[in-house]
Amino acid sequence: MSNQRVPIEPQRVDAPLTQSATFLVVTATKKPDSINTIRSTLAGLDSLAKNVSIRDLSARFACTVGIGSDIWDDLTSLPRPAELHSFREVKGEKHIAVSTPGDLLFHIRSERRDICFEFERQLMNQLGDAVSVVDETVGFRYFDVRDLLGFVDGTANPVGPSVPASVLVAGEDTSAEGGSYIVVQKYTHDLSGWGHLSTEQQEKIIGRTKIDNVELDDAESGQRSHKTLNTIEYENGDEHDILRDNMPFGSPGSAEFGTYFIGYTRRLWVIEKMLERMFVGDPPGLHDRILDFSKPLTGTTFFAPSASFLANLDSE
């Protein structure tokens, strides 16, 4: 019953999976008041969220804000999170994880598309000409949380008590405590080429069965699956978990089909290691074969600070 009366807490990186999401990446303009406008907007974001979410609390609205490396110092005047830096391009023999601009990320989620739309409309009205849009992607939940390649997405996400330990910075960096690193990439898929593969070939690339999502062993050839390349382990064999809230997007009329990858993590290096293994290969040269059908168009890194951090941005 509490979900019907209490909005989701601001900056909740583990907000529930929803039917709709908007991923909005912007950069600050050179207008004289841009930084001040952005700062005051972020400080008042909780009020804006309540103004929209109160219209339907059952829609489970949430917005998480990430701040990029290039704007951090001017915007906050506070110590930088220890691992925060711009997205580093990863260049393999055949594929490249590109690095693209982005000062702010707004990860807007709701069960209702109109709630996401209304929040973004009011947000952009407040930001005005202080920002310019780099990318705006509208995602949707596809059947039983599958991507457009037909496989269940997000199976390896941490659950329950293990979520905070995987995604929230703790005592190792007290200035960033309670926040989370975010990496986003927008991939488009060659569904025609993918569709020409047999189900068995697709399953070997992903590392899971297509219908019932059961893990498969890698081939003896040394080629590792997408699942294996994205598994980073401690020395004792335990996994370094990250939280994914990926969403399909696209337009059949424009022949655009894609997945918006968004990963939240306590340790940025974990996602960077995943990308290195995907694009360079492990061993080098044996890249993730999903990249032969999925092309990254963007790559940006952010840090999502705590809600109290945002609320105090405009207190000076």
CB atoms within 10 A of CB 179: 25
Establish whether 153 is a catalytic residue.
yes
90 and 280 Cβ atoms separated by less than 8 Å:
yes
* Contacts of 33 by beta carbon, 8 Å cutoff, 6+ apart: 130
How far is residue 42 CA from its own chain's centroid? 19
- Sign, CA torsion 108/292/198/225: negative
Dist CA 89 CA 182 (whole Å): 16
Element (H, E) at 138: strand 131-140
Closest CA to 180 of 64, 10, 23, 45: 64
Burial 201-233 (b: 16+ CB within 10 A, else e): ebbbbbbbbbeeeeeeeeeeeebbbbbbbbbbe
d(CA 296, CA 76): 30
Query: What DSSP character marks residue 51?
Result: H
Choose the catalytic residue: 135, 153, 245, 288.
Answer: 153
Catalytic residues: 153
